Structure 1
Amino acid sequence: MGFFRIPWVPKNTRILDISFNAFAQIQIGDFRHLSNLQDLNISNNKISQIQEGALDNLSNLTHLNLARNRLKAVSSGMLHGLSSLLVLRLDDNNIKDIEESAFSMLQNLKVLNLTQNHLHYIDRVKPVLASPCLEELYIGSNNFDVFNSYEMSTKPLSLKRLDLSNNPLATFQLTDNIFPSLDHLDLSYCGQNGTMTWNVTEKTYLTSVQTLYFMDVHMSAQSVADVLPSFKNSLNKIRLNRNVELNKTKLLLNACSPTLRVVRLNANRIKHLADHMFDPCSNLTELDLGENEISKLSQRMFRGFTQLKKLLLQINKLTRITNSFQTLSTLEFLDLSRNSIKELTCDDFANLTRVKTLYLYSNKISLIDSCLFKDLTSLEVLKLGTNNLLRIGDAFSNGPHSLKDLQINFNKLSKIEKYTFRNLSQLTSLTLQDNQISEIEGYAFEELNNLTSLLLSSNKITAGTLTRHLNVFSGMPNLQQLDLYANSISFTDNKLRHPPFKELKQLRVLTLHSQRRGIRKIPSNLLQGLSSLEMFYAGNTNLGHLNPDTFKFSPQLWFLDLSKNALSEDNSIPAETFHPISRLTKLILSRTQLRSLNFLLNANLSRLSTLRAWGNEIDVINKTLIQSLPRLEVLDLHKNTFTCDCHNEFFIEWAMKSNSTQVFYFNKYICSYPRSLRGMSLSAFNIESCTLNIDFICFLCSSIVVVLTLVCSFVWQFLRYQVIYAYYLLLAFFYDSKKKQNGSRFQYDAFISYNTQDEPWVMEELIPKLEGEQGWSLCLHHRDFEPGRPIIDNIVDGIYSSRKTICLITRNYLRSNWCSSEVQVASFRLFDEQKDVLVLVFLEDIPAHQLSPYHRMRKLVKKRTYLRWPKPGEDTKIFWQKLKMALETKEGHKPETAIL
């Protein structure tokens, strides 16, 4: 899966396979939580270092595979903690050195493989013998050229199996009996320089060896004559494959003994078998002569065998048999496959009454006579595949009656006739795949009461073949497996008149996938009668829709394969389809063009444990879907078009942390949307950006409230007048903008701003003079403000509806909040419009220092000329004349102009 570091796996894992990745080292802590681990496969990586103590916690580990990595040495701490280890594979590394105490902790180790490393000298292997229970040691392909037993040990070892193959041994010296229990010795492909010296000081040192692999030894005949007698008295099995240069008769003479039972002479380029060649090996029970060039057989060459049970003659050049096995009355297994046999006669297998297995596949047989198997009364397995058979006819009319497994695949059969196999009542498996069968007559399989497996795949069977005859599959009451894939079956009807499988009550596995033209649709009653059906393969059949009643006849179904179909439409798979098969545990929907798995929400698949839907167009897996599959153990969704956004937040977190479900290849799930994240790994999407942190939000909100409270308190305490002023300015600004847009004309000549305590002067002096005598229109709050309306709105409306604003200033006026508001609004209009709109009239003599607390009024007084009400006894005519002049001033005058 391309991992560079050890991935997280559930802590209760017992078997972990992380082979074929890209690990460069094993670090401390990588397996800290995996104390239950029993089998660990880390082969085929790039590991060059294992930190000391990195495997300390694996005290229950029994199998460790570190093959095909880049380790250069085995240190004392590398294997520390593996007290229960039984099997260790270190083959195909670059190991040159093993520390003396490296294996001292492995007290239970039984199997060690160090094949294909760079040890070079046999004494480098000595540290592994510190494991007292070691039984199997594989040290082939290490470029040893000398084997001296004293360099390994001088004491007896517990080894039962030793592999020294593929080493250029020039010397093999055994001076002490260090292998008292050795049962298997592999010297294949040794002595490649042809001059190996064999020095076993005592003939009894290797008497326990029963199996010797002596293939392609590249030795001289004399050297072989020295080696083989060392095993002659105990040897039970010997492999002499590929010893092309050695004389086979002499080879067997040196190797054979009364105890020898198995001889393999594969690939020795043997062309002729001498009549007395096997006389020294008369007690053989198995003889393998495969992969040679034998073209003729005779009865005399096998006459010496009295116990032979297995004879292998595969991959030779035989064209005929000519009754060569008549003397082999004990024979039970005969392999004549992959020859050039064209014809078989009735006597070719005469007297072979004990033969149980006969291989005749990959020959050129075109016809089988009914007499061929007359003497094969014990035959149970017959393989006739890959021949030139055109028809079967009556080939089995005389048996063999005990036959259980018959294979006639890869022939040229076009038709299965009625009662073809009726005399094979014991048959349990019948293979007819890869023929040209297009017609099956009714009762073709009649009386096959014990048949459990029928393979008819890769033929030319059509829907008509299955429905033309009513009893195509009759006579097989115990059939459990029926293969019909890769045929030409196609249906157009929604319902069949004669369902073809209705008599197969015990059928458990049905395969219909990969039909050449596509099955197109599954009729609603196609599976009628299959009440025991457990597995159904319907992939790659061009299905576009499933009928809701498809599985109503098969309630026991637990495995369903619908892969490689065209189920892209939203209603292609109705949820109701799965209701009759609530026991479904494995569902395959790969490469079906699915856009969503939402149909599973209401499918009631509470037992589903495996879901494979890779290679589709699924973009989102939501929480509800996962929760609807409570027993899911395996999920494979790679090669889908995932969206990298918060809709997949739950799926991403669940896939990485779930202890109960393994999401296959999750690190290879790629984002397809949005475009900015296309190509990014789904597992790399930052799901934290999707999480709403309630604690943080509450903290933030409470902090904001506290800060705002402090700010508001500070402003109100020290800046409340400025805030109020800003508020009024804002209202005035909006009002002024509105007036400008409407282009309205003034309703009053002047707005009178005064304190209510000064109202007598206004009523007695101001109004009679300005309105009575001079004819001005005045706006007075006690008279012209609109009742019920907010005061500030009345003030703003009054000021902006008047050409001028006259402020009657007294000490009471300065202390009034509303008067202050009126001055503020009038001031804003003054400076906003840049017009002479404000007239200040002091009714009392107020010194400048008393105006200091009233910042706005003091600022206006400093910048503008104002009117003062005359003192008692002074003439008032000048005051009224100046006030009249102020009211008559044109609006274009700047506000800085003095008013006299």
Structure 2
Amino acid sequence: QSDQKQVVNCSLLLVFLFSCLLHLHPSLTFSLKNCMIVFPESPNNLTVTCINRDLTAVPDDIPRNVTSIDLSTNQILKITDTDLRCLSKLMYMQVTFNSISHIDDGAFVDLIELRTLSMLKNELTNLTDNIFKGLRKLVTLTLSSNRISYISPVAFQSLVSIQSVELNNNRLHRITNITPILKLPTLHKLSISCNKLTSFRSDDMHLNVSNLRSLELDMNPVRKFSIRKDIFPHLQFLNLGSSGHEMKWDVANKTFLRSVSSLSLSHADKSFQPYSAVLKTTESLKILQLEFMKTLIEKGLIDVACQIPSLRLLSVSFSDIHTINDTLLRSCSQVTELGFSYDILSELSEHSLRSMTQLRLLALNNNALSQVPLALRGLSTLEVLDLRCVFQNLTNLKVLNIQDNSVFSFDSAFKVNLHKLESLNLHNNRLSGLQYGAFRNLSSLCVLDLESEAPYIVHDGAFEGLGNLQTLSFSVRDVYDELFIGMPQLKNLTVLFNWNQKSSGQNDDPTFSNLPNLRRLVLKVYEEPLEINSLHPDTFKYTPKLKDLHIVDSDLSDLTSELFWPIPNLQTLDLSNNNFRSLDFLVRANLAALSWLEISGNELSTINETVFQSLPALTYLDMTGNPLTCECSNAGFNQWVQSNKQTQVVNGHQYTCAFPLSQQGNKFLDFDTHSCWIDGSFLYFLSSTCLVVFTVLASFIYHFLRWHLAYSYYLFLAFLYDKRRKASPHRYDAFVSYNIHDEAWVYKEMLPVLEGEQGWRLCLHHRDFEPGKPIVENITDAIYGSRKTICVISRHYLQSEWCSREIQMASYRLFDEQEDVLILLFMEDIPAHQLSPYYRMRSLVKRRSYLSWPQAAQHTGVFWENIRRALDTADRPADNRHLLTGRPNYI
């Protein structure tokens, strides 16, 4: 018993601790109050976003197995040493655009797996000694746009894996502030733009060598850039940007910048010499970016740059270049990628690109060109052209981007010389239609974007010849089967169209019957009156590989389960912005693999939770924008949202009630469902528990107490009869209770002596019971109508149900009247332990004298004399009391 008590106490303690854990850490529940888990979700990659939730502190319901969290755009003021406890799996954390001014030392100590920490746009002023303690695996740290003016010399010592640090737009004013960072052996990138550094001198740095690869210094008032020793042997990218007026450039040896291959200059003043000196000390330069450099370009800076033999990419932007003449790029014959973007460029002279015989990419986007420049005609090596055009002779072109223009027709532009084109982007133009064979010669095309704000006519066979096309998006007035001929490898299809009866798949062949490899299908409908609210059951009959299906912005209000039977591998289903009022069609849809379901913006008011129980793989559910009712009809769904541990109901805690009016505007999950019903599962539990307890109890009683109960029952009956018959005279001297197996002995031995010789009047059930009367009444009348009851006991007697009842009633009379009315006569020697099942018999034998026929075999006369004396005790009670109440003995 002591051991059992200890086990019970331990169990109660565990339950208590677990309850406390749940109370203290709501993150153990699946539905988050202030955040949401981002789809796709996998067991090893759990992303949580809490963007723009008006949080003033880090929420306490962050799941402990989170690997990425975004707390951006809130009003968090500080991070305490308990806010991020136990998040040992966190790898990516963003706390940008908050008001954090203080971080406790050791606040990140549990984030042992953190790789990226971004605290852009906060109010930090100091980086203390132990602020980053524990972040041994941190690789990227962003602290831009704070108010940092002081950095402890040991603040970064814990960051033994750090590779990138961003401190842009702070208040650092001395290079000694960042020297401890430069000493970090793993550091590759340092961004300190927009600070208050007035000089960058190697003499001010107590540094032997740095492993830095990238350094951004732009937008600092640097008056002097001086490197007098070889401390940056690995530096590859240098951004000087606008470095102040009359910057002095002092690099003692060209080899000090021997690894610099990318350089960015911007906002330069009118002084040409410092920037010319910069270019002359970067002899390995491959990439040069020039922004807001109009004055120095006019002075010949591009010519100086193109004198560097290794230069391959030249980008000029925001420099107000209106015209490219024949001489501007004359020295740039080795350049392979050229960009003039956002330059208000309106003209290229016919021979301006003549010297660029190796040009593969040309970007002229966001300019003021009124026609395709003639300068493009001779660029036979060009692979990528961005005009955002005559394509003759561009035989190696692979990517063509003409999006966001006003192209309404391209006639035969794509029918010749573009055999290597892989990607064509005509998104958001003004196409009037697509003719037969419009893309027939683009045999290498893999991606085609023809999506537009308005639908257009697509003729049969418009896409024929696109045998390698895998991704297509376009706008069309009508969708029909012949439209998709010629694209057997198509995997991703996006169609914007007008939905009519033909589009529904009511024709003989399903609309998508020619797309057997389709994996992703997006159907969007223009805002026009529709003629159908459902889909033909065979719509997806020939697309068995479909995994992503999006049917949005339509008037769909009902679908059949049969529609989804041909696509059992469907994983993503988006039915947002439709008119669905019920989701019952999903119950038998056989979507065992569906993990992502979006049904936002529909007319769902009452949800049957069994719908989601029929989707075993569902992990993401978005029901935003549905008019949910906060009544008992939704109690099951309400409970399911809060209790299920598999499916994340996105923003479930923000759902509001649309009905009834008294609940309108209240939170859906705040609706009290306890007033609706007692949880059915609890009733089932209670019922089953009661049934089990009843079964166990009944079995126990039957096995151990059945004789007690039976005895009590018959005592009660005897009590009733006793009260009714106490005044009745005795008709018999004795009632003989015996079993049928002992009847021969009664007739041959007992009756001749007791009735024949001694003259007693006996009551025998077969002879004296009243016919037609209930047997229980006959037994009772016989017992109470006789002065005595003689029980002829044998093993058969003990096994007889009626004999048991007779002795039970006689026993009650014995106790009730307190008279010696019971005579026990044993026909066999029966050990006491064999009487134990017959509880009353054993207790009687222990307390009373009884007669034994086997022991009287040689003295039958004495035996019958003792019976006579026992029967005669009623008249002479004092003479016979010893025989009946003395110490038990055999006679």
* TM-score over 0.5 for the pair: yes
- Assess, with a 3 A threshold, how the Cα gap between structure 1 residues 376 and 595 changes in structure 2: closer, same or farther: closer
* 1:584 Cα offset (Å): 2.6
**Aligned counterpart in structure 2 of residue 605 of structure 1, from 591, 600, 605:** 591
| Aligned residue number for residue 478 of structure 2 | 462
Q: CA RMSD in A?
A: 3.6
Counterparts in 2 of 1:46 and 1:324: CA distance versus 1, 3 Å: same
Please point out which of 469, 486, 495 is paired with 1:475. 486
Aligned to 2:341: 290
Out of 220, 230, 235, the residue aligned to residue 271 of structure 2 is: 220
* Map 1:40-189 → 2, pairs under 5 A: 40-129=93-182, 131-189=184-242
SS in 2 for 1:223: helix
CA spacing shift, 1:106–1:653, aligned 2, 3 Å: farther
Q: After TM superposition, list the pairs within 5 Å mapping 1:734-883 onto structure 2.
A: none
- What residue is the counterpart of 2:84 in the other structure? 31
Q: Summarize the Cα distance change of 1:318–1:439 in structure 2 as closer, same or farther, 3 Å threshold.
A: closer
CA contact (8 A) 1:160 1:183 kept: yes
Distance 1:488 1:243, change over 3 A: same
For residue 339 of structure 1, what is the aligned residue in structure 2? none
Q: Which residue of 2 aligns with 1:245?
A: 295
Q: Which structure has the larger Rg over C-alpha atoms? A: 1
From 485, 503, 510, give the equivalent of 2:514.
503
Q: Is the 8 A contact 1:429 1:451 kept in 2?
A: yes
* Amino acid paired to 1:258: P
User: 1:881-892 maps to which residues of 2 (within 5 A)?
Assistant: none
Equivalent runs, 1:248-647 vs 2, <5 Å: 248-255=298-305, 256-298=307-349, 300-319=351-370, 323-324=374-375, 349-350=377-378, 352-361=379-388, 373=392, 375-383=393-401, 391-408=409-426, 413-434=431-452, 439-457=457-475, 459=476, 461-462=477-478, 466=480, 471-487=482-498, 489-491=500-502, 495-497=506-508, 499-521=510-532, 543=533, 545-566=534-555, 572-619=558-605, 624-642=610-628
2:592 and 2:74 mapped to 1: Cα distance? 34
Deviations 1:159-201 (A, max 9, x none): 111111111223333344322211111111221xx23233334
What is the Cα deviation at residue 155 of structure 1? 1.9
Q: CA deviation digits over 1:736-793, x for unaligned, max 9? A: xxxxxxxxxxxxxxxxxxxxxxxxxxxxxxxxxxxxxxxxxxxxxxxxxxxxxxxxxx
Report the residue type matching 2:117 in the other structure: L
**How far is 1:319 from its partner?**
4.8
Secondary structure of residue in 2 paired with 1:513: strand
Q: 2:371 & 2:472 partners in 1: Cα distance?
A: 31
Structure with the larger RCO, 1 or 2 (CA within 8 Å, 6+ apart): 2
Residues 384 and 245 from structure 1, CA distance in 2 versus in 1: closer, same or farther, beyond 3 angstroms?
Answer: closer
Alignment partners' CA distance in 2, 1:437 and 1:514:
10
Output the TM-score relative to the length of structure 2.
0.63
Letter in 1 for 2:311: L
TM-score normalized by the length of structure 1: 0.63
Deviation at 1:85, TM superposition (A): 0.7
Residues 242 and 267 of structure 2 are in contact (CA less than 8 Å); yes or no, is this contact kept in structure 1?
A: yes
Q: Cα–Cα, structure 1 residues 287 and 390, in superposed 2: closer, same or farther, change >3 Å? A: closer
1:498 CA displacement: 5.6
CA contact (8 A) 2:513 2:541 kept: no
Q: Deviations over 1:666-689 (max 9, x none)?
A: 332234456555434345567888
2:61 is equivalent to residue 8 of structure 1: yes
C-alpha spacing 1:621/1:129, structure 2 compared with 1 (3 Å): farther
Secondary structure class of the residue paired with 1:205: helix
Structure 1 SS opposite 2:496: coil
Q: CA deviation at 1:576?
A: 4.4
1:7 CA displacement? 4.4
What SS is found at the alignment partner of 2:375? coil
Q: Could you tell me how far apart the structure 1 residues matched to 2:504 and 2:89 are? A: 56
1:626-647 C-alpha deviation (Å, 9 max, x unpaired): 4333222112223344455777
Percent identity between matched residues is 33
Q: 1:595–1:382: structure 2 CA closer, same or farther, 3 Å change rule?
A: closer
Contact 1:589 1:612 in 2 (8 A): yes
Mark the CA change 1:169 to 1:434 in structure 2 (over 3 Å): closer, same or farther.
Answer: same
In the TM superposition, what is the alpha-carbon distance from 1:135 to its structure 2 partner?
A: 1.1
Q: Is the 8 A contact 2:526 2:553 kept in 1?
A: no
Q: Give the match for residue 260 of structure 2.
A: 209
SS of 2:593's equivalent in the other structure is: coil
CA apart distance, 1:614: 2.7
* Matched residue SS, 2:234: coil
Aligned equivalent of 1:341:
none
Q: CA deviation at 1:514?
A: 1.5
Q: In the TM superposition, what whole-angstrom CA distance separates every residue of 1:447-492 from its partner, at most 9, and x where no partner exists? A: 33333344331x4x236xx47xxx5443333333444314465549
Any stretches of 5+ residues in structure 2 without a counterpart?
1-49, 687-891
The residue number in structure 2 matching 1:865 is none
Spell out, residue by residue over 1:130-180, the C-alpha distance to the aligned partner (whole angstroms, 9 max, x if none).
533111111111222333334443321111111111112233333443222
Judge conservation of contact 1:10–1:659 (CA < 8 Å) in 2. no
Q: Distance in 2 between matches of 1:114 and 1:134?
A: 14
Consecutive unaligned residues in structure 1, runs of 5 or more: 326-348, 522-542, 698-900
Amino acid at match of 1:633: T
Change (3 A) 1:230 1:413: closer
Instruction: Look up the equivalent residue of 2:298 and give its one-letter code.
Output: K
Distance 1:511 1:686, change over 3 A: closer
Q: Supply the distance in 2 between the matched residues of 1:219 and 1:153 (Cα, whole angstroms).
A: 34
Q: Distance in 2 between matches of 1:382 and 1:399?
A: 13
Alpha-carbon distance, 1:403 to partner: 3.4
Structure 2 residue matching 1:292: 3-state secondary structure: coil
What amino acid sits opposite 1:462 in the alignment? D
In 2, distance between residues paired with 1:155 and 1:643?
A: 70
Q: Is the 8 A contact 1:187 1:217 kept in 2?
A: no
Distance 2:285 2:275 in 1: 15
Contact 1:103 1:127 in 2 (8 A): yes
Contact 2:361 2:385 in 1 (8 A): no
For the Cα contact (< 8 Å) 1:672–1:678, is it kept in 2? Answer: yes
Q: CA deviation at 1:665?
A: 1.8
**Residues 258, 281 of structure 1: 8 Å contact kept:** no
- Asked whether the equivalents of residues 462 and 490 of structure 1 are also in contact (C-alpha less than 8 Å), the reply is no
Q: Distance in 1 between matches of 2:299 and 2:618?
A: 63
